[in-house]
Amino acid sequence: MKLLSQIISYLFHPMLMASLGIFLIFNSGTHIAFIPIEAKRVIYLTVILNTAILPLSTLPLLYQFGLIKSFQMEGARERTLPVLLTCFFYFVCYMLLRRIGVTGIIISFMLATIIAIGGAGIITRFWKISIHTIGIGGVTGAIMALTYRYGVDLNGMLFLLFLCSGLVASERLYL
């Protein structure tokens, strides 16, 4: 059971949720799906670099300088600086996407993500909360927003996201 929980934890790592959200938005059947492939590549590269690669690359430095005790960041206070650095990189991503004129729903998704991460950064100083659950919940919320905003039927996608949300929440409670 522990191995399964760890696999779920890695598959739905918070650093991958922005990329998952962008992927699902691009495959939602809305007008966004028709963005040229070259533009999608630029967006994917910007998002993956700023929301996964750069934040993860700061962890060895934080560890080397003794600002975190391990890469698991077990303590609530230990997570504050990594979360705030991640928030900074997400903000950079948001600004870059705005500058290149990306469509509103993606900009809104990134802004909501920054707010969620910033809130998590504040709350995590006092309590250890599940950033994994915040991440998958944000993706689920974005797809729900697409459903309501554009009137598209994404019930199958939402069903899978709710299922994944339940798995992630259960896995976080188990670990």
Structure tokens at 81: 């600086």
Give the integer Cα–Cα distance in Å for 108 and 127.
27
Give the integer Cα–Cα distance in Å for 151 and 171.
32
String of b and e for 61-70 (b: at least 16 CB within 10 Å)? ebeeeeebee
Q: Is residue 72 pLDDT above 90, yes or no? A: no
pLDDT the model gives residue 39? 96
Most confident range, picked from 123-127, 129-133, 171-175? 129-133
Q: Is residue 76 pLDDT above 80, yes or no? A: no
Predicted structure pTM score: 0.90
Structure tokens at 70: 């391990």
Q: Three-state DSSP class for 29?
A: coil
Any idea where the domains of the chain sit in the sequence?
A: 2-174
pLDDT the model gives residue 175? 65
Which stretch of 15-19, 99-103, 108-112, 128-132 has the lowest confidence by average pLDDT?
128-132
